[in-house]
Structure 1
Amino acid sequence: MPARLRPAAAADVAAAQARLAAAVATGEPASGTDLRLLAKHYLALLEDRAPGRSVEVRVPPFAAVQVVEGVRHTRGTPPAVIETDAGTWIALATGTLSWTEAVADGRVQASGERTDLSAFLPLG
């Protein structure tokens, strides 16, 4: 069984968010280190807020988690999958992007039952 993700230290999250905001404001590319830290941090918070194993949330190349109560997935492709990039995931988790808007814009690909995460977002 893969190790469970853990939320990052509050100071590390605040620093990474500040650097990411500065990069966005100046049009510079975001640091891969900051994207990784924040993506994993918010996936860990989602695991705590929506425990279960019926939906797999993927933020490649950084991490994936299984969340939401329901039919447990044990092998192969899960019946419900959500996939997005790190920037979109961070925007969803922080509330700067709504679930409905992200899905409508194609920034989130969601298939299967229970893939509407709007009840769990924003995370922090």
Structure 2
Amino acid sequence: MAKARIDAAAGAAAVQTARADFEGASRDIRATAVRYLLQALADGAEGNSVEVRVPPFGAVQCIEGPGHTRGTPPNVVEMDARTWIELATGHLSWADGRASARISASGQRADLSGHVPVRL
């Protein structure tokens, strides 16, 4: 069974609301925004060599290259929801997120700089 996709209109509205007032947005709005942006990343960077995690809302595998099937993947990028929304929408650069330790990345392929901001 295929995973349900977030409708573009609903996703874009959630992203806009979460960007405008992250703290004031409901948990559901923040979750939808995160998942929609992860969906867009996976659509634009198909593959399974890097796992991008935004706990507690979601994770996707993306970027072409050697994949993994069991256990912890060798290439992992992890960040909180606010950081992901800022990164995915172009309000935070990959370099600044890494330099400020807002983004954790491990593995040779764990670099999203060529994939953010995501295309909506």
**Same fold, TM exceeding 0.5?**
yes
Unmatched 5+ stretches in structure 2 = none
Q: Aligned residue pairs: how many?
A: 119
Identity %: 51
Q: Aligned partner of 2:8: which letter?
A: A
- Cα distance in 1 between the residues matched to 2:58 and 2:8: 18
- TM-score (structure 1 length as normaliser): 0.85
Cα distance change, pair 23–110 in 1 and its aligned pair in 2 (3 A): same
Cross-structure match for 1:118: 113
- Cα distance in 1 between the residues matched to 2:19 and 2:61: 28
Higher relative contact order (CA 8 A, sep 6+): 2
**Secondary structure in 2 aligned to 1:57?**
strand
- Cα distance in 2 between the residues matched to 1:79 and 1:21: 31
Q: Aligned partner of 1:102: which letter?
A: G
Unmatched 5+ stretches in structure 1 = none
Asked whether the equivalents of residues 7 and 45 of structure 1 are also in contact (C-alpha less than 8 Å), the reply is no
Alignment of 1:22-101 (within 5 A): 22-24=20-22, 28-101=23-96
Asked whether the equivalents of residues 82 and 110 of structure 1 are also in contact (C-alpha less than 8 Å), the reply is yes
String of CA shifts for 1:81-120, please: whole Å, max 9, x gaps.
0000111101111101101100111110000011110111
- TM-score (structure 2 length as normaliser): 0.88
- Cα distance in 2 between the residues matched to 1:56 and 1:19: 26
Asked whether the equivalents of residues 19 and 86 of structure 2 are also in contact (C-alpha less than 8 Å), the reply is no
Q: What stretches of structure 1 move > 6 A for 4+ residues in a row?
A: none
